[in-house]
Amino acid sequence: MSKQLKTEIIAVGTELLLGQIANTNAQWLSEQLSLYGINVYSHAVVGDNLMRVEEIFSQAHQRSDVIIVTGGLGPTEDDMTREAFQRISELDMEEHTPSMKKIEKFYEKQGTEMTPNNRRQARVFQGAQVLQNNAGMAPGMIVSHQNKSWIFLPGVPREMKQMTKDHVIPYLKKLTGEEMIIKSMVLRFIGIGESRLEHELSDIIQAQTNPTIAPLAQNNGVIIRLTAKERSKEKANLLLQRIKEQILSRVGTYFYGIDEESIESKVFSLLKAQKKRIAAAESLTGGMFTEKLISIEGASQVCLGGIVCYDTNVKKNLLGVSSETIKSKGTVSEECAVEMAQNICKKLDAHIGISFTGVAGPEPVEGHDAGTVYIAICTEDGDQRVEKMSFQGGRNTIRKRATLKGFELIFEFLK
Amino acid sequence: MSKQLKTEIIAVGTELLLGQIANTNAQWLSEQLSLYGINVYSHAVVGDNLMRVEEIFSQAHQRSDVIIVTGGLGPTEDDMTREAFQRISELDMEEHTPSMKKIEKFYEKQGTEMTPNNRRQARVFQGAQVLQNNAGMAPGMIVSHQNKSWIFLPGVPREMKQMTKDHVIPYLKKLTGEEMIIKSMVLRFIGIGESRLEHELSDIIQAQTNPTIAPLAQNNGVIIRLTAKERSKEKANLLLQRIKEQILSRVGTYFYGIDEESIESKVFSLLKAQKKRIAAAESLTGGMFTEKLISIEGASQVCLGGIVCYDTNVKKNLLGVSSETIKSKGTVSEECAVEMAQNICKKLDAHIGISFTGVAGPEPVEGHDAGTVYIAICTEDGDQRVEKMSFQGGRNTIRKRATLKGFELIFEFLK
């Protein structure tokens, strides 16, 4: 039997009332809770003012069963979530030793002196379930008080999200006795637009209610979010698998991964499976391709590194692109891209070389408009391909799109 | 004479409580109001439920002078902002003829039949100032009731913004008799933590009310937001300048820029002013330093490029770090970092070389924990410095922190 709990979310922070940031924490929390059938009855935002925080806490304690508070747990005078709750609850506080040790250790390791106000962050209510902060200093807390559940989370989104996933959701599921299981799956595609994808799947999308099917264009391709609701994990997974297969039978050629899998991690897996090592020669992308690949754990198995040859002399002297090519064809050319990819492959003794050359903008280069980009892929066996693209957007949009396209081309090449 | 009005913003809409959208309306309104010196005391979000909307309206009427409500003015059964306010105010409603005509005309033009519920949108409170909607159907309203100002706006951001600019801001300026100008300035610091900064400035922060002084930790350092309120732009600027100088006399050594200036754009400006060109040898950062510098327009004047020497053989063969150094000291060492910086400087014929070598993690390397990073800076004149750091966090947090530290060190070196 599941129990319906009145839940509300309170954000503490004057920066929200000044409009410096939007309350995306409340949005994210609401989305997560709704997945587990927990209804949020209201959001509130209050500034860093003890009296007003206390007032809203009193009201919340009257009207709700579960109160989630974000923000106001930091080290400074402005942070008064703890003080306000102490006033309305009259609960005692104590220093949480593991959290204090963590803070001290941080300052010790940094070699800087800890200012006294940092001690505030380690203070917790007696009897609270202390929620470990893996990403920052201040721990969170779950406090049961007069039959109400108070959940205190940091305002920093990364810290708040980690604690919610690790501790708050399991706690609330136990509290509600929720038996329906919600399972989501994200299918990721590259090389196909949203409207084309929707067109190919229109009958499936229209017919389905469970799982729901939601396509969404993103910066790095298109995703489809599947959400199934069932009485068991197994049943939910079965539903997801069935619809996934149906979708992939239509558009599987553009599919590269599920859930959080990124195109760079997919490329990483393919390189690793094929025991191939890659090196990049990057001009306008400035190291972005290599940087993204190296962001993945274990990158040393597949990525040797590369040369960022932003300057023409670096292309010539270090990378060895011939002066003749640069003189006759220019640096923004198919020929230059191919030489760059060939040379980086040889110089770093890689299996595959990839190169990026083009115009990031805003000004044209060698008569080419901003957005003109050549990407070449060469292998140690002499295999080679090159693509010319015209990207839209500002300087860094062009650079990001070129990098993404590089991953797409390598993916197509390896799959 | 300006009058301080207690203002609150209430958003009506279940989609907000389901986390489908963030309450960006409240953010935008707060930002606009703060520019005119109007303090927002709270935000609230409530679902499409008559009883709950009525309840929060009652509370708001008790506690605030100005209540801005967004959403719930549409044609459907879900839209109950009008009904809830009628219940608490007992004001009569009437059909607003110009709005009704506009709605009828729209359907006529579309050639579709108007469903009866569309009439709801044209209903306004007797005596209300009706706010014309240039972008959609439902008009807004300003209602004076028992000395309180109720402002009703559509939830669609475009419509809400237009009415706010055209009608709400002029109305509120008249109401407050506000002639004050609000000016903000952000001071940016690097190399100092939030708590240390606050400690150094605690007396200034505590003494000040105008400008207000708000320190805030961010991913890329610490900022202080100054907000001054004055009768003229000149006076506000003077206040900001005065407090800026006072703050910089204490912690100016960590200051790098104002407002939107980033540390990489500051480094870019310094390099450009000093006519110096830089090259980077990056191991664990994988190209991130170079990539960030190249993200700036005009980067070719200050950045030549670099070598991403993630693999040890690339450090040796391409960058020329001696086998002896790598054998005796390892790649995670002061000596390796210095050779990397010296060699990249020479190889690319740069004025300054910077290098990054260390352990991104999660696994230790050569007996060093994840987070151990050496950064070296060498110049063509043989000047050199090297720093050892211990960063906390996951693989990519460590890589980002190392990159940021690199910019910090170059900044210190050049300033």
What three-state secondary structure class fits A172?
A: helix
| A&B contacts, CB < 8 Å | 248
For residue B283, list chain A residues with Cβ-Cβ distance below 8 A. Answer: 305
Long-range contacts, B270-276 (Cβ 8 Å, 24+): B270/B410, B270/B411, B270/B414, B270/B415, B271/B301, B271/B302, B271/B303, B271/B352, B271/B414, B272/B298, B272/B301, B272/B302, B274/B414, B276/B302, B276/B351, B276/B352, B276/B414
Domains parsed from chain B with CATH numbers: 7-176 (3.40.980.10), 181-258 (3.30.70.2860), 263-414 (3.90.950.20)
Q: Closest Cα to residue A292, out of A333, A314, A270, A263?
A: A263
Q: How far apart are the C-alpha atoms of A118 and A75, rounded to whole Å?
A: 5
Q: What is the pLDDT of residues A281-317, one digit of tens each?
A: 999 999 999 999 999 999 999 999 999 999 999 999 9
The burial of B87, by beta-carbon neighbours within 10 Å (0-12 exposed, 13-18 middle, 19 or more buried), is given as middle
B58 touching A (Cβ < 8 Å): no
Mutation test of the interface with chain A: which of B56, B311, B344, choosing the one with the most A Cβ atoms within 10 A? B311
Of the candidates B198, B287, B395, the beta carbon closest to that of A287 is on B287
Segment A141-156 shows an average pLDDT of: 96
| Tokens encoding B177 | 């008799």
**Residue B198 pLDDT > 60, yes or no?**
yes
Sequence letter at residue B17? L
Segment A340-367 shows an average pLDDT of: 96
For residue B48, list chain A residues with Cβ-Cβ distance below 8 A. Answer: none
Q: What is the pLDDT of residues A116-125, one digit of tens each?
A: 888 888 999 9
Segment B386-392 shows an average pLDDT of: 92
Indicate the pLDDT class of residue B335, thresholds 50, 70 and 90: very high
Q: What is the pLDDT of residues B208-231, one digit of tens each?
A: 888 989 888 877 789 998 988 888
B390 touching A (Cβ < 8 Å): yes
Of the candidates A21, A285, A300, the beta carbon closest to that of B310 is on A300
Q: How far apart are the C-alpha atoms of B155 and B47, rounded to whole Å?
A: 13
The residues in B 301-340 lying below 8 A from A, measured between CB atoms, are 303-311, 313-314, 317-318
Q: How far apart are the C-alpha atoms of A169 and A160, rounded to whole Å?
A: 12
Segment A44-71 shows an average pLDDT of: 96
Instruction: Say whether A45 and B44 touch across the interface (CB within 8 A).
Output: yes
| Tokens encoding A318 | 């270090």
For residue A360, list chain B residues with Cβ-Cβ distance below 8 A. Answer: 294
A157 touching B (Cβ < 8 Å): no
Segment A14-23 shows an average pLDDT of: 92
Q: What is the pLDDT of residues B3-60, one digit of tens each?
A: 678 999 999 998 899 888 899 999 999 988 987 778 899 999 999 999 999 999 999 9
β-strands A212-218, A181-189 pairing: unpaired
A34 touching B (Cβ < 8 Å): yes
What three-state secondary structure class fits A211?
A: coil
Which of the 8 DSSP states describes residue A368?
Answer: B
Of the candidates B43, B395, B396, the beta carbon closest to that of A16 is on B43
β-strands A7-12, A66-70 pairing: parallel
Q: Closest Cα to residue A42, out of A32, A30, A25?
A: A30
Mutation test of the interface with chain A: which of B291, B349, B387, choosing the one with the most A Cβ atoms within 10 A? B291
Instruction: Say whether B347 and A27 touch across the interface (CB within 8 A).
Output: no
Q: Closest Cα to residue A355, out of A392, A395, A319, A390?
A: A319
- What pLDDT sits at residue B178? 65
A399 touching B (Cβ < 8 Å): yes
Q: How far apart are the C-alpha atoms of A356 and A376, rounded to whole Å?
A: 7
Three-state secondary structure along B201-237? HHHHHHHCCCCEEEEEEECCEEEEEEEEEECCHHHHH
The residue in chain A having the minimum alpha-carbon distance to the alpha carbon of residue B289 is: A287
Q: Is the dihedral of CA B362, B363, B366, B367 positive or negative?
A: positive
Segment A10-26 shows an average pLDDT of: 94
Instruction: Say whether A290 and B308 touch across the interface (CB within 8 A).
Output: yes
- What pLDDT sits at residue B204? 92
CB-based contact A327:A316 (threshold 8 Å): no
What three-state secondary structure class fits B297?
A: coil
What ipTM does the predicted assembly reach? 0.72
How many angstroms away from the CA of A240 is the closest CA of chain B? 22
Q: How far apart are the C-alpha atoms of A270 and A331, rounded to whole Å?
A: 31
For chain A, give the mean pLDDT: 92
For residue B27, list chain A residues with Cβ-Cβ distance below 8 A. Answer: 16, 19, 21-23
B95: left (phi over 0), alpha (psi -120 to 50) or beta: beta
How many residues would you count in chain A?
415
For residue A18, list chain B residues with Cβ-Cβ distance below 8 A. Answer: 30-31, 34, 40
